[in-house]
Structure 1
Amino acid sequence: MPVGRPVGLPFGRHEVDAVRWPDVAGLPSARPGHTAVARLLVRRALRTLSLVAPEGGGSAGAGAPTMTLHDPDAFYRRIACDGLIGFGESYMAGEWDSDDLPGVLTVLAAHADDLVPAPLRRLRPLWAHARPGGDRNTVHGARRNIRRHYDLSNDLFAAFLDPTLTYSSAVFTVFPARFASLASAQHRKIDRLLDLAQVHDGTRLLEIGTGWGELALRAARRGARVTTLTLSTEQAELARARIRSAGLDGRVDVQVRDYRHVEGRYDAVVSVEMIEAVGAEYWPSYFTALREALAPGGRIALQAITMGHRQMLDTAATHTWISKYVFPGGLIPSREAIAEHAGAAGLRTVADNGYGRHYAETLRLWRERFTAHRETVTGLGFDTVFQRMWEFYLAYSEAGFRSRYLDVRQILLSEGTVR
């Protein structure tokens, strides 16, 4: 199949590489009755939300985003078998499109808890897929899961991130923000975290989750001695090159190392949007590692995506589209879960501030840049299904923050449990 295609041309399941994308190229087996129920429920939900009549027999509400179903039978069949996984795979297969993808997903996210009638929601365990045992974040599994996302290609991430190569929420001063402001907004976020952790000249800093090294660089310029950990070999290589280029390799030590194998004690620990990749089973190990790495009187600054506690519990054992295609083994925690596990490890929450609106804006800018650089992405060898998957991922995430289903927090922890 062709690696990519110009935007706007038709795309269908028959063009999907079945070896690379088996569950997108093929349709799951579904009982006719199940598909009929899915058709009824989805049509009812879309009509209620004024998105669009699925088979084109109607119109969306004034100014509302719209969905266009190119293959309704396949769309309903996937949802009948695989729920939201099927919904995402149907988009990847080109079976539906939207004139405003994040808009459609924002409406759906805002009504996530009432799209399915209450009696049927109780049956969720009967149809939801369990998470694959192979995605568990054991020491070996975590490295494999991280590489599946972060080792795709440094050039891929460079195609949509700003020049700082920062892959986490920025902090803006104006809305909406222009792309040119994203680098300064990322520096603003990093500086807030470093200030929260009181990083200054002479600070011994541990960073868990290197990314491509921008926070380590910023901390080293303050005079800190930085040890930064990653499981991604591609990230480590580029981070080291950037640090050498800045003349700061004497101040920053980039290690390919699991957080469970931290050595030494530090005045400050910073971890940015890494807890989401840990997995609920290993949150006790994560917070214990943070606590044991902290020197007396030290401070821990976390940046974490969060969701409501009940939503987290519903998601914890469920295989989702995101866990299947984007972040295997991951789970977004709730604020309650963070406080509980931090407290059990002997840490107390000193500050906890949210700014979800800023992440929605960050994701919008990433998505717009990604779609503007399709030709570059295609040239890197990423096919149309991957590009639709990535666009769906960015829009899906943006919708989570715009609807307030998700939030992002900057949290300060220190020694001592709350009394």
Structure 2
Amino acid sequence: MRMLSGLLRKFVRNGRMRLYDAAGALHEFGSGENGPTVTVRLHDKALHHKLAFNPELIAAEAYMDGTLTFEDGSNVHQFLELFSVNRSGLASAGSQKLLRRAWRGLKRWQQANPLGAAAEHARHHYDLSTDMYRLFLDEGLNYSCAYFRDPDNETLEEAQRAKLIHIAAKLRLEPGMKVAEIGSGWGSLAIQLAKCGAQVTAINVSPEQLKISRQRVEEAGVGDKVTFFERDYRELDGKFDRIVSVGMMEHVGVTYFDEYFGKVRDLLTDDGYAMIHAIGRMTPPGTTGPFIRKYIFPGGYVPALSEVFASLERVGLWACDNEILRLHYYYTIRHWRERFAENREAAKALYDERFCRMWEFYLSAVELGFLHGSNMVFQLLLSRERDAVPIIRDFIVDDERALVKPKRTRKRAAE
């Protein structure tokens, strides 16, 4: 326990950790102030040194395997909150500095997403049962950051519909416009854009998502306006008035940013523009955490804005607008985590207890990353020509109100 105790003494500065080691001895760390008090029990002596070496990965695996448990009313979310409010202390520990240096050295290898491998990485996550995703997503199966105007009073469904309208407003669509959607999820955005009059070509590498998407566009009555292809973004050809990509750039990998943005540039008409929605970080370039990289999003990476804009400079695209959504994803994932907890037994019936623990760890970790960490979401408007996007942002609000108004009018008429 000596190495682990030394790490925890440096690490736990806020809140308190009460730790029972594998022999049953109690150790306490932290002041108990400015954070939760969490009681942890270790059931495997090997964890004493494994946790000291790589706590971010080993703690997750130990919880998944049941060799790290909680007592006195503590739970995994409080445990990760304790990690979250002490993240600077963990990063400053000598052993963790060396580990992070090694991760940075392997960064490009960890994010290798050539054709073929990129699809395998995406399917690892997105080809899970759609029934499982229905347990915690909104009715439209939107698996990306919602758009909250009033987080305390809006439902997840309302915030996700607002996100779709917000994006459609930014695209300023006209009937007959050709739109390419790179990474189409379960089809909700394609349906929204088609209802705005666009002809949508949507690509995805997940057969499971494509199957559901094709069913949904038919049910929505826009099957003649949306075409889905199982295709990597590098395999898409043609010219489009608009390009939209939501929650997909995180799977590109920093080595491929120029290829990704270069493809966006080449697919756009001269007077067209693209809307890219992705998770970013407000800190300098880093790496993907070991648990997320191994179990959740292999090949994934949340970029620093400096990496994004440097690539745009190299490929010659205008950054016409950038909106930063800071806490919107925190509110979104909080809904997901709470819904997953409510439907945990159904998830266990689909998979197993270990899967449920992995998913609990994942949802709590990413939620807290948007609350206490450096993560945020950015929405970029990009074009080949400087005047493709209106020179002031008023059009976004104007078009958004125009898209919302018909629904309100119909509601009043029904009353």
TM-score normalised to structure 1 length: 0.83
| Aligned 8 A contact 1:134 1:141 in 2 | no
Is 1:413 the equivalent of 2:388?
no
Is 1:96 the equivalent of 2:72?
no
Is 1:163 the equivalent of 2:139?
yes
Is 1:67 the equivalent of 2:38?
yes
Residues 242, 385 of structure 1: alpha-carbon distance in 2 compared, 3 angstrom cutoff: same
Pairs within 5 Å for 1:229-378 = 229-310=203-284, 312-313=285-286, 315=287, 320-378=290-348
Q: What CA RMSD, in Å, does the superposition of the two structures yield over aligned residues? A: 2.5
Tell me by how many angstroms 1:222 deviates.
0.6
Tell me by how many angstroms 1:134 deviates.
8.2
1:338-359 per-residue CA deviation (whole Å, 9 max, x = no partner) reads 1111221111211111122111
Residues 416, 66 of structure 1: alpha-carbon distance in 2 compared, 3 angstrom cutoff: farther
What secondary structure does 2:364 align onto?
A: helix
| Aligned 8 A contact 2:14 2:85 in 1 | no
Aligned to 2:409: none
Tell me by how many angstroms 1:133 deviates.
5.2
Identical positions, percent: 32
Aligned to 1:37: 3
Give the Cα–Cα distance (whole angstroms) in 2 for the partners of residues 297 and 126 of structure 1: 44
Q: Which of the residues 170, 173, 180 maps onto 1:206?
A: 180
| Aligned 8 A contact 2:251 2:299 in 1 | yes
Is 1:53 the equivalent of 2:2?
no
Name the amino acid aligned to 1:325.
Y
Residues 58, 140 of structure 1: alpha-carbon distance in 2 compared, 3 angstrom cutoff: closer
Name the amino acid aligned to 2:40.
L
Is 1:145 the equivalent of 2:121?
yes
What secondary structure does 2:18 align onto?
A: coil
Tell me by how many angstroms 1:164 deviates.
0.5
Name the amino acid aligned to 1:239.
S
Is 1:196 the equivalent of 2:162?
no
Q: Which of the residues 184, 191, 202 maps onto 2:158?
A: 184
Aligned to 1:109: 84
Give the Cα–Cα distance (whole angstroms) in 1 for the partners of residues 386 and 117 of structure 2: 31
Give the Cα–Cα distance (whole angstroms) in 2 for the partners of residues 86 and 345 of structure 1: 40
Segment drifting more, 81-90 vs 361-370: 81-90
Residues 116, 270 of structure 1: alpha-carbon distance in 2 compared, 3 angstrom cutoff: closer
| Aligned 8 A contact 2:185 2:213 in 1 | yes
Q: Which of the residues 194, 217, 225 maps onto 2:191?
A: 217
Q: 5+ unaligned residues in a row in structure 2: which ranges?
A: 21-25, 388-415
Name the amino acid aligned to 1:403.
H
What secondary structure does 1:299 align onto?
A: strand
| Aligned 8 A contact 1:356 1:404 in 2 | no
Residues 39, 214 of structure 1: alpha-carbon distance in 2 compared, 3 angstrom cutoff: same
What secondary structure does 2:234 align onto?
A: helix
Residues 41, 107 of structure 1: alpha-carbon distance in 2 compared, 3 angstrom cutoff: same
| Aligned 8 A contact 2:111 2:253 in 1 | no
What secondary structure does 2:190 align onto?
A: helix
Give the Cα–Cα distance (whole angstroms) in 2 for the partners of residues 70 and 166 of structure 1: 37
Is 1:86 the equivalent of 2:58?
yes
Q: How many residues align?
A: 376
Residues 101, 193 of structure 1: alpha-carbon distance in 2 compared, 3 angstrom cutoff: same
| Aligned 8 A contact 2:54 2:96 in 1 | no
